[in-house]
Amino acid sequence: MTITDPPQCAADQGAPPYATASGSEAHVLCTHCPGCGYNNFPPSRVCAGCMSLDVEPLRLSRQGTLYSYTTLRSGDQSVYVGYVDLPEKIRLFAELEGYAGGPPAMGSQVELACVRHAPGQARKREPVFVFRHLPGQSHGQ
């Protein structure tokens, strides 16, 4: 199958074209090359591994492993952001949530979610894709 246009988001207005969201459940798409096995994110019409045009959409796993993170601070507020490794050998960068008990631990398990921040917050009401800390995992290093 050849992709002529990137996969479109059908479930939620405002989401990127390679992502879908229904409530808080989020899914992200990449393209997979059956010829060489390479997964490309964001989705592409051409395989970055072998330059084949024979690529197909692939829904990525929602759970991954925290590879690295940093803390962004503005005034008295701080937010964790980090890179998450997915089983499909894709590394995504996103905001991290659920670490109120301390900083994230590299190697902790996280799950992709879609959130809309409450009115009155400095953030837009568009959907934001985040990785949430999974219960039962350690927080600190």
The answer for residues whose C-beta is within 8 angstroms of residue 112's C-beta and 6 or more apart is 26, 27, 28, 62, 63, 64, 94, 129, 130, 131, 132
Domains and CATH numbers, the chain: 28-59 (no CATH), 63-133 (2.40.50)
Q: What is the pLDDT of residues 33-87, one digit of tens each?
A: 999 999 999 999 999 999 999 999 999 999 999 999 999 998 888 889 999 999 9
pLDDT single digits (tens) 91-126: 999 999 888 778 899 999 999 988 766 555 555 556
Pairing of strands 128-133, 90-97: parallel
Cβ atoms < 10 Å from Cβ of 19: 20
Residue type, 70: T
